[in-house]
């Protein structure tokens, strides 16, 4: 078959007119082949797969692990998927970014992402798009089609669809579109979270089925969050190797199959979705990161205090708070009490500004740090380390150059010496200087030292300045967390069948989608077309836009009110995203 004949095979036609191929993307948040491979292969009672629809797709195309972002967190990962850019080029290195001239953080929104989204680029090239539930899409972006925002949409009454009237249409069709997650994992009654995740999953798929039939589209994306949420909360009930697994725990019988059951029920509903896709549609399944068990939390700012990198003020108020802190009057215990007594919702209503003021006056916080004697502080879900650098930090004392390098060398040596208090094993597995990982427009936002713990078994208490008075803390709330490698599957015209690929990255998906749809690739993407995955569909050379087209610009004006940000921050804690 010559090249012209191959092109005709790959491009369906109608009435003699060429049609651009469609692309359907299914985003399964936190999906990992560590779970899915055995579930796709055999069932508990024999050879029948537990996830037959995902297995069929897996076998009918290419598949492989998908490298996430550094760090593998929902915020930077979805921003990288949307733009095809690394975090240091789109500007989101965490859920939260540091406020200018401050040691404080604020929550990111879509407007903080520097770069055009997939749906913006496709719209600009005349493609009709449909997007449901992708995190960090609020406020809704005008597109050529429709868009429903996802995680980090405020709980207050806001417009979360484009066009705005789509919300009314969905409510009429579905009874109500379930936008918000309102429950959290509560040990005494996990069923409330379980029931909500099932309801949201079914509601989203009902919405997708309706919109796939009712609206014209060339690109359609459906995001499912419940896979991630339930893995955070219930991993310790099914994994015999988890530190908290107890075979005599009566809850294992009740909740040990929650994660698998959710995946099985989801797979069944996906059969309805896949049945609406013809053989000429490319179907991509992906996740933003992988998943795995946790062992312990680590309070890195407490560790920095004990190692002499950080110091507290010597005034009476700070000494009093430190004494109370050592006696157990700390943020973690207060949060536990507030949720047991129902005070949490009242606290949220105070608004973020009042909450922070109350927390700073009541508990030990970064406001108690003596920055004139502090060389390093930690901020972030992976324990990211920042040097208190002169000229960059508000009260920096470390001189750039030799002194800066000496602080980092000492810090790295101490991190390598950190040991698990129960096993004596090293905690830190791999360390990078920020300059090694982040080399782009927003590299100035990067931590000075970034590291992964051994097996990613340890999680930093990233939002709490000083969560408790111990360096190591037993797990609560979330029992598993994100790993680097998510999932990737792709089938469609010209795609090889049942082929394993390696080296795929999250940032490669956007340019690959553009290539499949015949759309020029923006010149500012960092990813590359996954030509090794495309077979005949990847034979043509990738085409790029002839000129550079800028996106939002990043670091936009804050879109959340103080009350909205407080509620969203608490929701992220509830769902296991931050501690």
What digits encode the pLDDT tens for the residues 514-564? 999 999 999 999 999 999 999 887 788 999 998 777 666 555 567 888 888
**Roughly how many angstroms between the first and final C-alpha of the chain, as a whole number?**
58
CA atoms of 61 and 490, how far apart (whole Å):
5
DSSP 524: T
Which of 27-41, 313-327, 340-354 reaches the highest mean pLDDT? 27-41
- The candidate with the shortest Cα–Cα distance to 561, out of 349, 379, 335, is 349
Distances in Å between the Cα of 125 and the Cα atoms of 109, 367, 544 are: 25, 50, 13
User: Has residue 352 got a pLDDT over 60?
Assistant: no
Give the count of beta carbons closer than 10 Å to the beta carbon of residue 54: 25
Q: Tell me, what's the pLDDT at 16?
A: 35
Is-contact 134 26, C-beta < 8 A? no
Question: Can you tell me the mean pLDDT for 246-252?
Answer: 89
Q: Tell me, what's the pLDDT at 102?
A: 87
Q: What tokens were used for 384?
A: 């990211």
Query: Residue 132 contacts by C-beta under 8 Å, 6 or more apart in sequence?
Result: 148, 150, 204, 207, 208, 211, 221, 222, 223
CA atoms of 495 and 486, how far apart (whole Å):
20
Q: Strand 22-28 to strand 219-224: parallel, antiparallel, or no bridges (unpaired)?
A: parallel
> What residues does 148 pair with on adjacent strands?
132, 161
User: Has residue 391 got a pLDDT over 70?
Assistant: yes
φ, ψ for residue 130, nearest 5 deg:
-140, 125
In this structure, of 239-253, 488-502, 554-568, the range with the lowest mean pLDDT score is 554-568
Q: Tell me, what's the pLDDT at 1?
A: 37
Question: Can you tell me the mean pLDDT for 183-211?
Answer: 89
Question: Can you tell me the mean pLDDT for 392-398?
Answer: 96
User: Has residue 329 got a pLDDT over 90?
Assistant: no
Grouping H, G, I as helix, E, B as strand and the rest as coil, residue 322 is helix
> What residues does 283 pair with on adjacent strands?
24, 491
Is-contact 152 135, C-beta < 8 A? yes
Q: How confident is the model at residue 346 (pLDDT cuts 50, 70, 90)?
A: very low
- The candidate with the shortest Cα–Cα distance to 88, out of 192, 223, 97, is 97
Higher per-residue pLDDT: 491 or 561: 491
CA atoms of 9 and 459, how far apart (whole Å):
50
Query: Residue 367 contacts by C-beta under 8 Å, 6 or more apart in sequence?
Result: 360
Is-contact 526 507, C-beta < 8 A? yes
Helix axes 33-41, 258-274, angle to 10 degrees: 70
Grouping H, G, I as helix, E, B as strand and the rest as coil, residue 487 is strand
CA atoms of 366 and 531, how far apart (whole Å):
48
Q: Tell me, what's the pLDDT at 540?
A: 87
In this structure, of 267-276, 466-475, 498-507, 511-520, the range with the lowest mean pLDDT score is 466-475
């Amino acid at each position: 078959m010559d090249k012209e004949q191959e092109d005709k095979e790959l491009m369906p036609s109608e009435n003699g007119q060429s049609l651009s191929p469609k692309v359907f993307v299914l985003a399964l948040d936190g999906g990992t082949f560590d779970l899915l491979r055995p579930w796709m292969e055999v069932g508990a009672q024999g050879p029948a797969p537990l996830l037959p629809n995902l297995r069929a797709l897996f076998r009918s195309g290419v598949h492989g692990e998908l490298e996430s972002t550094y760090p593998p967190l929902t915020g930077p990962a979805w921003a990288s998927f949307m733009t095809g850019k690394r975090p240091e080029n789109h500007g989101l290195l965490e859920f939260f970014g540091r406020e200018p001239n401050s040691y404080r953080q604020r929550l990111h929104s879509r407007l903080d992402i520097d770069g055009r989204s997939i749906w913006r680029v496709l719209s600009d090239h005349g493609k009709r798009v449909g997007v449901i539930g992708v995190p960090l899409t609020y406020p809704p972006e005008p597109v050529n089609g429709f868009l429903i925002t996802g995680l980090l949409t405020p709980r207050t009454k806001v417009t979360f669809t484009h066009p705005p009237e789509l919300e009314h249409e969905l409510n009429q069709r579905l009874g109500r579109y379930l936008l918000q997650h309102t429950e959290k994992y509560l040990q005494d009654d996990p069923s409330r979270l379980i029931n909500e995740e099932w309801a949201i999953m079914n509601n989203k798929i009902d919405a997708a089925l309706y919109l796939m039939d009712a609206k014209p589209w060339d690109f359609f994306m459906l995001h499912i969050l419940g896979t991630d949420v339930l893995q955070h909360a219930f991993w310790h009930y099914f994994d015999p190797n988890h530190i908290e697994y107890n075979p005599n725990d009566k809850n294992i019988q009740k909740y040990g199959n929650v994660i698998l059951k959710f995946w099985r029920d989801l797979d069944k509903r996906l059969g309805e979705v896949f049945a609406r896709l013809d053989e000429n549609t490319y179907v991509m399944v992906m996740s933003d990161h992988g998943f795995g068990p946790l062992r312990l939390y680590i309070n890195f700012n407490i560790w920095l205090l004990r190692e002499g990198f950080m110091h507290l003020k010597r005034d009476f108020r700070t000494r009093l708070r430190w004494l109370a802190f050592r006696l157990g009057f700390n943020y973690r215990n207060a949060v536990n009490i507030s949720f047991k007594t129902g005070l949490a919702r009242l606290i949220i209503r105070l608004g973020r500004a009042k909450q922070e003021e109350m927390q700073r006056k009541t508990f030990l916080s970064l406001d108690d740090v003596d920055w004139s004697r502090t060389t390093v502080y930690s901020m972030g879900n992976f324990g990211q380390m920042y040097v208190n650098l002169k000229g960059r930090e508000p009260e920096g004392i470390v001189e750039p150059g030799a002194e800066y390098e000496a602080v980092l060398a000492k810090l790295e040596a101490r991190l390598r010496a950190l040991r698990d208090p129960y096993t004596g094993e090293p905690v830190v597995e791999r360390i990078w200087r920020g300059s090694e990982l982040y080399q782009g427009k927003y590299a100035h936002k990067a931590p000075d030292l970034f590291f992964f713990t051994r097996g990613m078994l340890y999680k930093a208490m990233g939002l709490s300045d000083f969560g408790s008075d111990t360096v190591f803390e037993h797990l609560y709330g979330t029992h598993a967390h994100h790993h680097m490698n998510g999932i990737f599957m792709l089938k469609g015209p010209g795609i090889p069948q049942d082929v394993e690929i390696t080296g795929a990255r999250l940032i490669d998906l956007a340019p690959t989608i553009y290539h499949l749809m015949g759309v020029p690739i923006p010149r500012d993407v960092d990813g590359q077309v996954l030509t090794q995955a495309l077979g005949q569909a990847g034979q043509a050379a990738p085409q790029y836009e002839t000129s550079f087209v800028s996106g939002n610009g990043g670091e936009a004006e804050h879109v959340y009110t103080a009350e909205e940000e407080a509620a969203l921050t608490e929701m992220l804690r509830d769902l296991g995203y931050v501690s």
